[in-house]
Amino acid sequence: MLATALAAAFVLASALPTRANDDVLRRTADPAQQVLQTVDYANTRYSRLDQIDTGNVGRLKVAWTFSTGVLRGHEGAPLVVDGVMYVHTPFPNVVYALDLDADGRILWKYEPKQTSDVAAIMCCDLVYRGLAYADGMVFLHQNDTTLVALDARTGAVRWSVANGDPRLGESNTATVMPVKDKVIVGIAGAEFGARGHISAYNIKDGSLAWRAWSTGPDSDLLVDPEKTTELGRPIGKDSSLKSWEGDQWKIGGGATWGWFAYDPTLNLVYYGTANPATWNPSQRPGDNKWSMTIFARDADTGMARWVYQMTPHDQWDYDGVNEMILTDQEIDGHPTPLLTHFDRNGFAYTLNRATGELLRAAPFEPTVNWARGVDLDRASPSYGRPLVDPAHSTETEGEDVTYSGICPAALGAKNQQPAAYSPQTRLFYVPTTRMCMDYEPFHVDYVAGQPYVGATLTMYPAPGSDGRTGALTAWDAVAGRAAWTAPERFSVWSGALATAGGVVFYGTLEGYLKAVDARTGRELFRFRTPSGIVGNVMTYAHRGRQYVAVLSGIGGWAGIGLAAGLTDPNAGSGAGQAYGALTSYTNLGGQLTVFALPDAP
């Protein structure tokens, strides 16, 4: 079956459109390889490999392991290209090339020199979500915002460029996406008042092709007031400027530290923007556009085709940067190009990705209470806006007041860890968190390069959760409901992977790699790795044998208390105390674990 899948992949590759990067299209059509963290341009995290299936996955054994030599949170996943595996680490972002023909022998190692000052401006652990490959180059976007193109054969630097300025609180935690002749990159730093932007660099030499900001004048946003739309209506002149008080937009956040998707047919890049700055909503009246927004941009020019702001005037730090998953399904009997997004605010959004029309919006986490729903009445003046419950607003009584019982907590019903989609089941597999919070906003003054947060949080398990704070949820986006849920002791901070073998893989904060039946959620396999898993499971094939690999190394926002040795209960934006029990289940580490069937050819 593996050989059949590989043969079909190469046929598919020859039929794909040529508008995207040809090398990326050809390699993503080959399930033996992985060149993007998202597995494909559509962000499905679905593999067509099927040698490992529901009938034999329980017999997986460790094939080999590799120590990264670095602690802290190991997010993202390795890449596999032409018999070589490329592995990354958290700060200082070491890159290894490993020979799959020689049990992971190190072919080369790239170790960038970054000042330790960068670590001080990274809000939620020293994570990095991984590399991308195109045209013989491995792309690394360092925590200090340096974008580097490495020769895939030798590790030599082809070119490098600074995408931001750490002195202003700008950093990077996200991967990049090669599209056509460009590399799409984002920026982090909203908690320092950094103004978000997305940039496209020319693959050939690293020169800047275009940059689009999240806030500010239309010329900076790369929008056309009459042609760029939100929910079918032109956004109008100065749409962002009118939604901020004075010059607040200059320190308004809206960072772009999440994931990118790309539709080669429409030639549109999709991504989301983060929270506005500060976390204290009383200091920034207005909708604060275009933070908390899904953007669809032309890959060649950066011009925005459409936008949709999910959480206007965010009062809870519900960053909108989670992945956009592109599928083609029937909506109300009509074949429709869809974009599905599981937001930190707890709502699953389904839009027509060509037009930006909002089709569905429903809570995928049942404890959501900050809003009663999203207005889906196209005739309503509040169409598309959340119906905020005043009891859970964090500015009703002003600053220096504790607002209690808000669900979800700021780390979201789902954070950055990506969901997966299976075309076999037409279900999305969503790593979720079931936490609520108390939120106290306070006044904070902006100082360049210093934290610009303005709120303290206390987080705790949601009522009725029996202390369990996570689950893997199978979600039917068309119907707007869960098909099944597999509860977990802690938040699921690992990205899911669905396969043609009918299996869904994910990791747990205790350190288990798990495999479940894609149709029922029944657990089929588990293995305890040396440290908590916040990485994303991947699969590849080498010499006719399918492998499954995952990075383990506790960290990320959920694991920062353990990873950074925090003792102050308010440290880590409330996560240190909320996940204090992790110390009884796992410890620091940095390891790649690779699995295979013992009797595979």
pTM (global) more than 0.85: yes
Question: Residue 465: its pLDDT value, please?
Answer: 83
What's the rounded mean pLDDT across residues 39-45?
98
Question: Residue 90: its pLDDT value, please?
Answer: 97
Our CA dihedral for 300, 151, 271, 420, rounded to 10 degrees, sits at: 130
Question: What letter represents residue 275's amino acid?
Answer: N
Over 60: is that where the pLDDT of 5 sits? no
Q: Could you read off the pLDDT of 9-22 as tens digits, one per residue?
A: 444 443 444 446 89
Q: Could you read off the pLDDT of 245-290 as tens digits, one per residue?
A: 999 999 999 999 999 999 999 999 999 999 999 999 999 999 999 9
The answer to which of 32-36, 239-243, 461-465, 515-519 has the lowest mean pLDDT is 461-465
Spatial CA neighbour of 52 closest among 86, 8, 5, 7: 5
Q: Could you read off the pLDDT of 375-388 as tens digits, one per residue?
A: 999 999 999 999 99
What's the rounded mean pLDDT across residues 567-596?
88
The residues with which 456 forms a beta bridge, in sequence order, are 440
Question: Residue 448: its pLDDT value, please?
Answer: 95
CA distance 268 to 297: 5
- Higher local confidence (pLDDT), 109 or 566: 109
Set 144, 287, 317, 319: catalytic member: 317
CB 149 within 8 A of CB 161: no
Q: What percent of the chain has pLDDT over 70?
A: 96
| Triad 238, 272, 361: Cα angle to 5° | 100
What's the rounded mean pLDDT across residues 407-418?
97
Question: Residue 20: its pLDDT value, please?
Answer: 62
Over 60: is that where the pLDDT of 600 sits? no
Question: Residue 1: its pLDDT value, please?
Answer: 56
- In angstroms, the first-to-last Cα distance of the chain is 12
Strands (E), 468-537: 470-476, 481-488, 497-499, 503-507, 512-517, 523-528
Over 60: is that where the pLDDT of 4 sits? no
Cβ neighbours of 167 (radius 10 Å): 10
CB 203 within 8 A of CB 197: no
Q: Which two tokens stand for residue 332?
A: 């109300």
Question: Residue 9: its pLDDT value, please?
Answer: 45
What's the rounded mean pLDDT across residues 329-348?
96
Question: Residue 2: its pLDDT value, please?
Answer: 60
Mean pLDDT taken over the chain: 94
CA distance 267 to 371: 34
Q: What percent of the chain has pLDDT over 90?
A: 89
Based on the residue annotation, tell me whether 317 is a catalytic residue of this protein: yes
What's the rounded mean pLDDT across residues 354-377?
97
What's the rounded mean pLDDT across residues 124-144?
96
Residues 6+ apart with CB under 8 A from 338: 326, 327, 328, 329, 331, 350, 351, 352, 353, 359, 477
